[in-house]
């Protein structure tokens, strides 16, 4: 089974050309499944509903519905591969269904909250300039944190106000940024050498050791400013992305344009933000319109 699993990983990496993060997620999810089969001395050809039920019980005892859904998707892809390559004659994963995932509206910052957090870094210090450039870029481009940390110097075109990034599935997209983000990036690039970049280091954003900043590093920066503002809500790099989409739609942007800017392959992923904006409009209407409640 380990040899077949290795073949599948090769298929994901070189035929499907998955991004490194997606590939690692698939690898981890499938390794758990393969280990479960080996531990219980089960072969792929013996897979059936009873075995699946046993594995599903194991999943529900450890993971959330969203994580389970992701693992099931990986297993489905695995069995399609097994069938296609002739390792098994029948796709035994056809009967597998995903758990129902609760729909949570994503958390976002109000426009005044965004402005407050963007103004917190000290632009007179190299660290402050870097942090401000990071926050401005997150909000201006709606980037995922994984996209932001993989940006290289060559991906930024400040003259035209464009940034090239690579999203899920290694899909390339070009994202425009505004004047504030351009200015903060220009100021950061003036002091980038302060971080003593290692030889041939192409990363746009650097840590104190002169290497590419990590996702955890971005989280720490955001958490630092969240504590200063004493915001009661959860704030993460993705909160900036949610705020980016929400503010665009609430100001009249076309949902298809927002979809392109976010790099969503499916419009349904973008439509969740219309629920947020419609809810906000309803709340504002009830709070502001003199006849929104019965008073006569």
- Which of the residues are catalytic? 144, 168, 238, 241, 264, 273
The two three-digit tokens of residue 233, written as one number: 């809500």
Q: Beta-strand (E) ranges in the chain?
A: 156-157, 162-166, 172-176
Inter-CA distances, 172 with 155, 156, 203, 255, Å: 11, 13, 17, 20
Contact at 8 Å (CB) between 1 and 38? yes
Residue 231 pairs with which residues in a beta bridge?
none
DSSP letters, 192-235, are: GGGG-PPTT--BSSB-TTSSBPPHHHHHHHHHHHHHHHT-SS--
d(CA 135, CA 35): 41
* Tally of residues, the chain: 296
Contact of 37 with 43, CB cutoff 8 Å = yes
């Amino acid at each position: 089974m380990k040899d077949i699993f290795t073949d599948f990983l090769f298929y994901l990496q070189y035929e499907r050309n998955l991004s490194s993060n997606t590939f690692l997620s698939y690898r981890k999810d499938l390794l758990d499944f393969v280990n479960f089969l080996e531990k219980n001395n089960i072969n792929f050809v013996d897979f059936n509903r009873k075995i699946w039920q046993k594995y599903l019980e194991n999943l529900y005892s450890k993971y959330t519905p969203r994580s389970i859904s992701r693992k099931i998707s990986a297993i489905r892809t695995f069995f399609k591969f097994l069938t296609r390559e002739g390792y098994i004659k029948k796709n035994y994963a056809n009967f597998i269904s995903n758990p129902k995932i609760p729909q949570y509206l994503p958390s976002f910052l109000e426009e005044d909250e965004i402005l407050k957090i963007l103004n917190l870094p000290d632009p007179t210090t190299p660290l402050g300039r870097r942090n401000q450039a990071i926050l401005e870029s997150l909000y201006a481009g709606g980037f995922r944190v994984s996209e932001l940390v993989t940006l290289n110097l060559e991906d930024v075109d400040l003259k035209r106000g464009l940034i090239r990034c690579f999203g899920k599935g290694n899909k390339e997209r070009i994202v425009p940024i505004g004047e504030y983000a351009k200015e903060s990036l220009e100021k950061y690039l003036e002091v980038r050498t302060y971080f003593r970049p290692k030889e041939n280091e192409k990363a746009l954003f650097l840590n104190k050791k002169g290497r590419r900043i990590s996702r955890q590093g971005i989280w720490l920066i955001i958490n630092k400013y969240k504590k200063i503002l004493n915001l009661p809500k959860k704030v993460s790099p993705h909160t900036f992305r949610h705020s980016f989409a929400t503010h665009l739609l609430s100001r009249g942007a076309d949902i298809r344009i927002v979809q392109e800017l976010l790099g969503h392959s499916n419009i349904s992923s973008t439509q969740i933000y219309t629920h947020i904006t419609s809810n906000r409009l309803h709340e504002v209407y009830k709070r502001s319109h003199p006849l929104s409640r019965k008073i006569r």
